[in-house]
Structure 1
Amino acid sequence: MIEVEIKFPLIKNNEQLITADAKFISEKNVTDVYYDNATNQLTLSDQWLRCRNGQFELKTPVDASTKNSAFVARRYIELTTDNEIMAALNLTGLGLAPALQQNHIAPFATVNTTRRSYQHSELHIDIDRTDFGYAIGEIEKLISDPSQVKETEKELQDYLSERHIAYSQGHLGKVAHYLQKHQPDHFHQLVEAGVISHTNAL
């Protein structure tokens, strides 16, 4: 499945506006541990490997050419099985954990988040507040056909605009904000590579 998402700031009454006619699903605590090697090879190619509450996931871009593009929404394929992740990262071995160790891929950031989730038809909304004081909202839709990406992006934009919620390409996601605050060298590498410059970063 392809995940099309737009992030937006939690300012004023944005949370109330976007969730007013949405169904509350859950509130939970999420711990994300992000992985990369010493040269930041994965994140510099916009690949985000994390262990979320003990389960590995990989978000990899649908099209690398969208870096530094005019698209407001980001489009990722999310892989959730060890075999899929190993294939996408060209790793070999008897399992994901040993393969990561063998390739010197190790944790570089841990982000703890309180997440409130809502649903509006096929649109999923997350309201995230981190343990380092950052808050952000995200609206997304899962699609199976790449030809639906532009249509889906417009659907998300219309949903936000109808509720008078401002958003921009440059609004930082929580991982990017964490790196900007705690690992500025890594952050600037990502900006120079076009991974988070003028885009909705993770």
Structure 2
Amino acid sequence: MTVEVERKFVCDAEVIGRLKDIGAQCIGQRQFQDQYFDTLDFILTLKDFWLRCREGLWELKCPAVLGSKPVTEIETLCTRYKEITSFPLVQSEVRRIIKEHTAEGSESNSSQREQTDKVRENEDTDCCPTDDKKWLTDLNMVCFAEFKTERCSYILEREEGTVRVDLDKADFDYCVGEIEVLVPEVGDINAAVQRITKIAAELGLSCEKKVQGKMDVFLQRYRPDHYTKLLSAHIL
């Protein structure tokens, strides 16, 4: 299991030129479709867990250190998530989170299932294999976000290691860049933040405020109730 340390930045027309100037190498372009799932009362995302199906492959992004928050201004610009990519482990962890929430006193299953059935009537989940969807039904989970992304990726080789930069354009007309470093689960996250900060400085990026990711903008535009709850919970 790895930890993804990432900082987003405004992707303007000059960024490709700046990437080339600092020695970045383009490693390709691709398009993919993402679907994100949660219960109707947002059990996963209100705990900062993000269940995603990307072109048929499942991933659960989890808080790198539960209960901890960045303390310095530079640290707040970076996100940190563990990535679970083994499908059985993804299922096991999702079931655990929902079971714990239910034990704490969640909404009744019958009420939630009734709401889920109404949402599912208009739901399109063709992206994910049919055999993978039964467990979602069993857990009363639905797709709350779906969008396509065009991505151009670069890598920068430095003495400290490789840094990846992705330039994304979502199909709801939003562009954003991401500087990413992957470290082992027991690795030095602070060192990863420093490497990202160094690349950001080389690119001439401002350190004034955190840039919204694709999910932040999607929820703000199309799922305002969900977005408001996540803001209130200090997740976004």
Query: One fold, TM greater than 0.5?
Result: yes
Q: Which moved more, 1:74-83 or 1:32-41?
A: 74-83
Distance 1:24 1:157 in 2: 20
- Normalising by structure 1, we get a TM-score of 0.88
1:49-198 maps to which residues of 2 (within 5 A)? Answer: 49-67=51-69, 69-70=71-72, 71=75, 72-90=77-95, 97-121=133-157, 122-196=162-236
Distance 1:180 1:67 in 2: 23
Aligned residues of 2:8 and 2:210 also touching (Cα < 8 A): no
Distance 1:19 1:81 in 2: 35
Are 1:27 and 2:67 matched, yes or no? no
In structure 2, the residue corresponding to 1:7 is in which secondary structure?
strand
1:58-89 per-residue CA deviation (whole Å, 9 max, x = no partner) reads 11111132457542211111111211102222
Aligned residues of 2:27 and 2:153 also touching (Cα < 8 A): yes
1:200 matched residue in structure 2? none
Structure 2 residues not aligned, in runs of 5+:
99-130
Could you say which structure has the higher helix fraction?
2
Off by >3 Å, runs of 4+ in structure 1: 66-70
- Normalising by structure 2, we get a TM-score of 0.76
Structure 1 residues not aligned, in runs of 5+:
197-202
In structure 1, the residue corresponding to 2:95 is in which secondary structure?
coil
Distance 1:39 1:63 in 2: 24
Structure 1 residue 97: deviation in Å?
Answer: 3.0
Distance 1:101 1:19 in 2: 47
CA RMSD in angstroms comes to 2.0
Quote the sequence identity (%): 29
